[in-house]
Structure 1
Amino acid sequence: MYIKRRLNEELETFKNLRRCYAGSKKTPHRYLATVGVGGNIGDVKRRLEHLYIFLKKDKRVTLLRTSLILKNPPFGFADQDDFFNSVALLKTSMQPKLFLDYLMRLEKKFARKRSFANAPRTLDLDIIFFDNRVVKTHKLQIPHVKWFERESVLIPLMDIQR
């Protein structure tokens, strides 16, 4: 069950009452990763719940906290359904490149198909921050490019920082 709140004509938030992922588990993992989570194909809220259950069981990461879910319009390719976005805080011992590969495998596990830039998708996982690292390669940029301009990142980040 979710508590739904309308922020304005375009934005709504959903707070999950059944599953609240928040805790300060002790973990052997070294690095704190902030991951943007989203999608706009199918039952995204349910898919996010399944993703979080999977992450809680996976020994390669420790799920520390998840934010509310924000429903927001797409950008880039606008002729598609609204997105549902969230943020997850994870601990991992993987280096950034390996962690990116891990996230891409997770997207594939949850039926992500890459057709074109900003296309509709079942699941999108983006590294927003990775500890205090700055990475600039062809395949990976940390912090995520333009994270500070996107409501789909800022509103869930504000929720997770409470």
Structure 2
Amino acid sequence: MFIERKLNDSLTIYKNLRFYKKEQKSFHRYRVTIGIGGNVGDVKRRFAHLETYFKRDKRVEFLQKSLILKNPPFGFMNQDDFFNSIIILKTSMQPMLFLNYLMRVEKKFGRKRSFANAPRTLDLDIIFFDERVVKKERLSIPHPEYSKRVSVLIPLKGLKK
């Protein structure tokens, strides 16, 4: 069940009435902030399934989720609005291995890569990986555009400390 609230003509937030925050002793080493998004199909339902998937996967520990933000697309404009949220996980995987893991999860949830900023069922971006800084061809941490994207900033602000 979600509560819907319009921020302005182009931004809407959806707050889940079942708030989930898990903080306890973990055997996983790294705290990872992930941006999730999508605009194909029932995205809010897909986000709920993704949460269940992560909660069942022993390679990660699900800690927290943010509100969901509905916002207009950028880049390729001829597509539906996006739903975006933030989740916090813990893992013991190193950053490149974790990136490969997330790409497999995207594929499992129907992601097909066609062109930049294309419509998609699920997009998973590593925003932060503990306090690490990574600059590689396939991976930059922190995410280089996070501070310019309302689709990241508003959900981040909505996380419980």
1:139 is matched with which residue? 138
Aligned match of 2:71: 72
**8 Å contact from structure 1 (residues 37, 85) kept in 2:** yes
Q: 1: distance between equivalents of 2:102 and 2:44? A: 18
1:90-136 CA distance string (max 9 Å, x none): 00000000000000000000000000000000000000000111111
Q: Distance in 1 between matches of 2:73 and 2:35?
A: 15
* 1:1-162 equivalent positions in 2, closer than 5 A: 1-17=1-17, 19-162=18-161
TM-score by length of 1: 0.97
SS at match of 1:29: coil
TM-score by length of 2: 0.98
Equivalent residue letter for 1:11? L
Count, aligned residues: 161
Q: Partners in 1 of 2:45 and 2:134 — Cα distance?
A: 32
Task: Give 1:161 shift.
Answer: 4.1
Q: For the Cα contact (< 8 Å) 1:69–1:84, is it kept in 2?
A: yes
Farther-moved stretch of structure 1 (48-57 vs 19-28)? 19-28
- Secondary structure of the residue aligned to 1:117 is coil
RMSD: 0.8
SS of corresponding position for 2:89: strand
Percentage of identical aligned residues: 65
| Pairwise CA distance, 1:26 | 2.2
1:30-72 deviation line (CA, Å, top 9, x unaligned): 0010000010000000000000001011100001000000000
Query: Are the aligned partners of 1:21 and 1:63 in contact in 2 as well (CA < 8 Å)?
Result: no
Uncovered stretches (5+) of structure 1, i.e. residues with no partner: none
Q: Secondary structure at the match of 1:9?
A: coil
Q: Which SS does the other structure have where 1:160 is aligned?
A: coil
Q: Which runs of 5+ in 2 are unaligned?
A: none
- What is the alpha-carbon distance in structure 2 between the residues aligned to residue 136 and residue 153 of structure 1? 20
1:27, distance to aligned residue in structure 2 (A): 1.2
Contact 1:34 1:127 in 2 (8 A): yes
How far 1:25 moved relative to its partner?
2.8
Structure 2 distance, partners of 1:127, 1:161, is 19
Amino acid at match of 2:13: T
